[in-house]
Chains A and B, each alone.
Chain A
């Protein structure tokens, strides 16, 4: 974050003082998707330098985690990337489960895949709507938010919450999904591919939209790797890497899906890669529905997983375990773990250090938007000022996960 006394963060280079100018964009700017401040050095309308100023949403969430029990951290994870909540839950739960060496029942794993993909659709729909709106195609926003609403209703059905789900817990899921949940998901994904056609009808043939994206924001594969870019922007730069396929977790290895790649490296490539990813997510959800195993959604670990409400009212042990978990937490073996997953925006990673007590010694969250923002200057340098808006839209950042 910048100086509070108003000191300039960017000075025009000596020798260019007559030509260049420093202007400010944000932190309250609708196209910055949150509170991002960009300090731009421009030569006429051409970008010379970009200096992103972040930290306006910094809440010290990693410090907060150190004062909580392991299970109390789950609701905090929702609030980091609030557009893709279930991926955050999933990544944290997988990391702690690795430390605990917990066996997760197959149904919980498949439900996690299904929910992570729904969450990815949710994230991509917001990206598509806001990206198109930044470019000036206002209508698409209304269409994508219509489908997003359907997804949020599905989240509400399982978790009781639309956005801050906290549904994926350490050891499985917080509870059984409602009886009609899978039918509702089936109904949603049956109609969803047509909706993607609707978006592409509105955008792909739109000459203005096409010209604003094609050839804009070029990011080579070398730059993308050097700057730590992950997810759809990396794959749109021609790097064939997806953690779901290459380092599978939560039984992703049992699903068949394609990883879309583009070698065009521009904003249009990122648009196309994400659209194909949405279609692939529908395929994964269909496979999860078709092969959904029977059984429990919680691991058999009474000292770690909260018991069902009914058991608490009838069984003494369940009540004791519940009391113990809520008041004392559970000890996690000492060690350090890094778990990465492929979330909607790219690679999310949790690095957890345990000292053997019931509270994490250190939780570090690696979120994809943070390194991706570094690539902004590379993509915009030498381009027009208006392209900055298109590029920010195409890399799909969330400031909550940058500032943490």
Chain B
């Protein structure tokens, strides 16, 4: 969509991609909820304040990003904030994908569920809960999905060993 190469930081993206539909939607809704932004590898990443993620999802869905594509987490242990959630949204109309990013502190890895916006986020949020231990408020059925219910620990965390017994 944009011919720009790399834009780092909120100010650069707001200036360089002022006409991008996702940027316009977010600034028109609540520019303060946008903490950081970048455009690299031809992909737009918007960092959203954790408590605003559901409102951001509603805003972007209305702006044309109609398809919820993917959700996963990244553990930046031992850095702080430790957890990163990456939401990928796809627009069938613009034929373009954007990434929403939410950074969470280790002490309270909890964020609003977006299942009221896209029912399809159900399994993805359960998977992130199971493998990273991040909780999603108001999720209809926040249970482990890959590991057995009695399992202890969250295997995709970086402090969980790759081999051997815990």
Contact = CB atoms under 8 A, between A and B. Distances in A.
The 4 tightest CB contacts between A and B, nearest first, are: A228-B120, A364-B72, A3-B149, A227-B120
Given A58-B146, A228-B68, 20 more contacts: A1-B144, A1-B145, A3-B148, A3-B150, A55-B145, A60-B155, A63-B155, A99-B41, A335-B40, A336-B45, A337-B43, A338-B97, A340-B69, A351-B70, A351-B86, A353-B74, A366-B69, A371-B120, A374-B122, A374-B123
Contacts of B156: 60, 62-63
A288 B160 CA distance: 46
A332 B26 CA distance: 32
A58 B155 CA distance: 12
Given A63-B156, A338-B43, A351-B88, A228 B69 contact: yes
A231 to B, nearest CB: 13
Nearest to B84: A353
Interface residues of A, number: 45
Interface in B68-106: 68-70, 72, 74-75, 86, 88, 90, 92, 95-97, 99
B100 to A, nearest CB: 12
A371 B123 CA distance: 7
A1 B146 CA distance: 5
Contacts of A98: 41
B59 interface: no
A362 interface: yes
Contacts of A226: 118-120
Interface of B: 40-41, 43, 45, 66-70, 72, 74-75, 86, 88, 90, 92, 95-97, 99, 118-124, 131, 144-150, 155-156, 160, 162
13 contacts: A3-B150, A4-B149, A7-B149, A62-B131, A63-B160, A99-B41, A226-B119, A228-B68, A247-B97, A336-B45, A349-B88, A373-B123, A374-B120
Contacts of A99: 41
Nearest to A226: B119
Contacts of A247: 95-97
A241 interface: yes
B74 A225 contact: no
B97 A2 contact: no
A336 B120 CA distance: 23
Interface in A185-208: none
A403 interface: yes
Contacts of B74: 353, 361-362
A55 B120 contact: no
A121 to B, nearest CB: 26
